[in-house]
Amino acid sequence: MDRNRKRALGAAGAGALAVVVAVGIASAADAAASTLHAAAAEKGRYFGTAVAAYKLSDSVYSTILDREFGMVTPENEMKWDATEPSQGSFSYGSADQIVAHAQAHGQRVRGHALAWHQQQPGWAQNLSGTALRNAMVNHVTQVATHYKGKIYAWDVVNEAFADGGGGGRRDSSLQRTGNDWIEVAFRAARAADPAAKLCYNDYNTDGQNAKSNAVYAMVSDFKARGVPIDCVGFQSHFNSASPVPSDYQANLQRFADLGLDVQITELDIEGSGSAQADNYRRVTEACLAVSRCTGMTVWGIRDSDSWRASGTPLLFDGNGNKKAAYTSTLTALGGGGPTSSPPSSPPVSSSSPPVPSGGCTATASVNQWQGGFVVAVRVTAGSGGTNAWTVTMPLPSGITVTNSWSVTRNGNTFTNVSYNGHINPGQYTEFGLQATGTAGTLTPTCAAS
Ligand code: G2I
């Protein structure tokens, strides 16, 4: 087993690059991670959930949310009908509430969804042709600009392909504005928020079939022509009529091989007990087996929160208790307690770098683009290990921090969050932040306790 679970995730902006994200710490003596997100982070992935703004005041709900999840997708609050209820008049209250909650709890946000044939406001449903195309572009631009710097990835276009064997686009008023509507939406999103990953998201594309082949052809074409696209989302809504495909992993892999990230974006699996648990395990293992599968999101927290509540498709029951599917998912992520005895003596490695003495050290790497930057800070434990750490990193004046992850920030002071305070000697964890402006040279210092 790889005890050296260090990972860095890449993210591309327009030519600019590499957002390094959260991460892992562990050694043979470590207890396994005890929550979904902490376990996923040790594998260099995120673990997320769909969130409804009106449930944030439910303490059972928010307690599970903040304990288990490191990425949130607004379930309905960023859709066109919610964000632009009348043309040109934008309404972000509920979505902003989710983003604020996420930022306050060290969670990142998947934006969902900028352009979709469903959940359009009435006024958009009454448009067609050039008027609709222009309204769509304006919508993408306005919403992506409002959330600029706060979104890990956007579902730019959702569900644009037809079901069945035809292998073509879904008919919709957006499609009737011209076949190029999808790339136009992606270009508008890139222009508005160059740091967000841009995803195409769909269902029934989870295995290789006519529909996923058609999406694959579009993505290949986008990559060949330089249309900005960074990821493909696989919704993964499964039930007995639509089971986890046997080629699920292979399908994720062939998309990843096109040179972009893949993500499981709306996972739910109807059923109960060990059969459901086994399916969740398979899906989790598939993502972990694909190096560019950067994370997975379940479509709700408790069964009672699900859009398909009667199918009990989620990881927590209606009372918020962990189900067998929770345990199998956590175990597949490598968390949940030791599954084998730790070795009786530490592994011998003659090539390991010496462990620095003292508490901890910190280094920063900056990816700068015109007008903004992302900085990844690596915290390495010295010979004493850490139980908690604080990094002090003076930031230049004139910048505005728009987002940070895997850390609690107070001005220039950055403190560990619950799952990354403990670092064994010589191991490291990473946190990051995104800002507008120019970073210059950043010099972090670290103190451990
Ligand atoms: O349909 C399941 C998902 C398929 N992929 C895209 C997702 O965006 C989609 O999510 C679901 C939400 O989970 C539902 O919550 O999208 C549905 C609408 O297409 C959402 O349902 C809507 C109801 O239709 C509305 O009547 C209700 O007001 O949820 C709204 C808020 O509860």
What are the φ/ψ torsions at residue 68 (nearest 5 degrees)? Answer: -105, -20
Asked if 201 and 242 count as a contact pair (C-beta separation under 8 A), the reply is no
- Closest atom of ligand 1 to CA, residue 299: 13
Q: Whose CA is nearest to atom 18 of ligand 1?
A: 119
- Segment 389-437, tens digit of pLDDT: 999 999 999 998 887 777 899 999 999 988 788 888 888 888 888 788 8
**Cα separation, 168 vs 194, whole angstroms:** 29
Is residue 275 classed as helix, strand or coil in its secondary structure? Answer: helix
Percent of the chain at pLDDT exceeding 90: 74
Output the ligand 1 site: residues, CB below 6 A: 75-76, 118-119, 158, 203, 235, 266, 307
Q: Whose CA is nearest to atom 29 of ligand 1?
A: 76
Of the candidates 68, 75, 159, 270, the residue annotated as catalytic is 159
DSSP string, 390-406: EEE----TT-EEEEEES
**Cα separation, 195 vs 403, whole angstroms:** 11
Q: How confident is the model at residue 352 (pLDDT cuts 50, 70, 90)?
A: low
For the entire predicted model, the pTM comes to: 0.75
What is residue 385's predicted lDDT score, i.e. its pLDDT? Answer: 87
- Closest atom of ligand 1 to CA, residue 307: 13
| pLDDT surpasses 80 at 51 | yes
Show the tokens assigned to 210.
């006519």
Q: Whose CA is nearest to atom 10 of ligand 1?
A: 75
CA of 77 to the centre of ligand 1 (A): 10
What is residue 358's predicted lDDT score, i.e. its pLDDT? Answer: 79
What is residue 178's predicted lDDT score, i.e. its pLDDT? Answer: 98
- Residue 77 is among the residues annotated as catalytic for this protein: no
- Segment 133-142, tens digit of pLDDT: 999 999 999 9
- Residue 159 is among the residues annotated as catalytic for this protein: yes
CA of 118 to the centre of ligand 1 (A): 9
Mean pLDDT, to the nearest integer, of 41-67?
A: 98
What is residue 165's predicted lDDT score, i.e. its pLDDT? Answer: 79
- Segment 17-45, tens digit of pLDDT: 444 444 444 444 456 899 999 999 999 99
The 8-class DSSP code of residue 53 comes to: G
What is residue 338's predicted lDDT score, i.e. its pLDDT? Answer: 53
Q: Whose CA is nearest to atom 30 of ligand 1?
A: 76
What is residue 118's predicted lDDT score, i.e. its pLDDT? Answer: 98
Least confident of 13-27, 34-48, 220-234, 345-359: 13-27
CA of 263 to the centre of ligand 1 (A): 20
What is residue 16's predicted lDDT score, i.e. its pLDDT? Answer: 42
- Closest atom of ligand 1 to CA, residue 118: 19
- Closest atom of ligand 1 to CA, residue 235: 5
| pLDDT surpasses 60 at 7 | no
The whole-chain average pLDDT of the chain stands at 89
Q: Whose CA is nearest to atom 2 of ligand 1?
A: 307
What is residue 337's predicted lDDT score, i.e. its pLDDT? Answer: 64
Report how many helices (DSSP H) and strands (DSSP E) the chain contains, helices first.
11, 17
Asked if 420 and 25 count as a contact pair (C-beta separation under 8 A), the reply is yes
CA of 52 to the centre of ligand 1 (A): 11
Substitution candidate for ligand 1 out of 307, 310, 314 with most atoms within 8 A of CB: 307
CB atoms within 10 A of CB 43: 23
Of the candidates 77, 266, 270, 430, the residue annotated as catalytic is 266
Burial environment of residue 64 by CB neighbours within 10 A (0 to 12, 13 to 18, 19 or more): buried
Q: In sequence order, what are the residues at sequence separation of 6 or more whose Cβ sits closer than 8 angstroms to the Cβ of residue 138?
A: 88
CA of 75 to the centre of ligand 1 (A): 7
CA of 44 to the centre of ligand 1 (A): 30
End-to-end CA distance of the chain: 29
Q: How confident is the model at residue 8 (pLDDT cuts 50, 70, 90)?
A: very low
What is residue 353's predicted lDDT score, i.e. its pLDDT? Answer: 62
CA of 76 to the centre of ligand 1 (A): 6
- Segment 114-126, tens digit of pLDDT: 999 999 999 999 9
| pLDDT surpasses 90 at 349 | no
Substitution candidate for ligand 1 out of 49, 51, 55, 75 with most atoms within 8 A of CB: 75
CA of 209 to the centre of ligand 1 (A): 25
Instruction: Give the residue from 189, 206, 131 showing the smallest Cα distance to 155.
Output: 189
- Segment 252-289, tens digit of pLDDT: 999 999 999 999 999 999 999 999 999 999 999 999 99
Least confident of 12-16, 149-153, 214-218, 353-357: 12-16
Q: Whose CA is nearest to atom 21 of ligand 1?
A: 307
Is residue 178 classed as helix, strand or coil in its secondary structure? Answer: coil
Q: Whose CA is nearest to atom 24 of ligand 1?
A: 119
| pLDDT surpasses 90 at 367 | no
Q: Whose CA is nearest to atom 9 of ligand 1?
A: 75
Mean pLDDT, to the nearest integer, of 230-255?
A: 98
What is residue 384's predicted lDDT score, i.e. its pLDDT? Answer: 85
- Closest atom of ligand 1 to CA, residue 50: 13
**Cα separation, 287 vs 172, whole angstroms:** 32
What is residue 435's predicted lDDT score, i.e. its pLDDT? Answer: 83
Show the tokens assigned to 78.
């960023």
| pLDDT surpasses 50 at 329 | yes
- Closest atom of ligand 1 to CA, residue 112: 8
Torsion, CA 145, CA 435, CA 365, CA 333, rounded to 10: -60
What is residue 6's predicted lDDT score, i.e. its pLDDT? Answer: 37
